[in-house]
């Protein structure tokens, strides 16, 4: 397989990873809105069911992202196995970038952000009850007319 086809395959895998991550962000923002508007008052059974459905959805998206990551890893291995004299300039630059510290930081941030989103939603759904009750108390205090 020519190096430019491999390069296009690697870039396509990156594009898919970003698209799956955008879907994850959409799901997480939808969960935050749902928690804010009604789940913070819901019973524990509804919260558990919602969290289970949310987790299943996140795992599906994470699985797709990991699949694309494996494709990209294989493509990078195939590009590195080609003789340097056969690589086009874009492939050389792509390999150089994939070995850079910027790419490493991006990979680590990408992986940690998935878990940070999951932990954040679990905290808001199950452990932030004091936040909601203190806001209600402050709202009642603010609504009282001054005498």
Q: Which of 126, 123, 117, 116 is nearest to 49 (CA)?
A: 126
| pTM for the structure as a whole | 0.79
Contact of 33 with 124, CB cutoff 8 Å: no
Q: What is the pLDDT of residues 96-123, one digit of tens each?
A: 999 999 999 999 998 899 999 999 999 9
Give the Å distances, CA to CA, from 130 to 36, 96, 139.
13, 50, 14
Asked if residues 9 and 75 have their Cβ atoms less than 8 Å apart, the reply is yes
Domain that holds residue 72: 3-143
Number of domains in the chain: 1
């Amino acid at each position: 397989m020519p190096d430019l086809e491999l390069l296009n395959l690697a870039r396509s895998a990156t594009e898919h990873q970003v698209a799956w991550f955008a879907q994850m962000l959409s799901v997480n923002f939808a969960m935050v809105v749902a928690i804010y508007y009604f789940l913070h008052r819901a019973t524990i059974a509804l919260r558990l069911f919602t969290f289970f459905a949310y987790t299943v959805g996140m795992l599906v998206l994470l699985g797709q992202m990991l699949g694309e990551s494996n494709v990209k890893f294989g493509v990078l291995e195939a590009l590195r196995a080609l003789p340097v004299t056969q690589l086009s300039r874009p492939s050389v630059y792509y390999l150089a970038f994939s070995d850079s510290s910027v790419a490493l930081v991006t990979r680590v941030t990408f992986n940690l952000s998935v878990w940070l989103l999951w932990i954040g939603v679990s905290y808001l759904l199950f452990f932030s009850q004091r936040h909601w009750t203190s806001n209600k108390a402050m709202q009642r205090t603010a609504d009282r007319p001054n005498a």
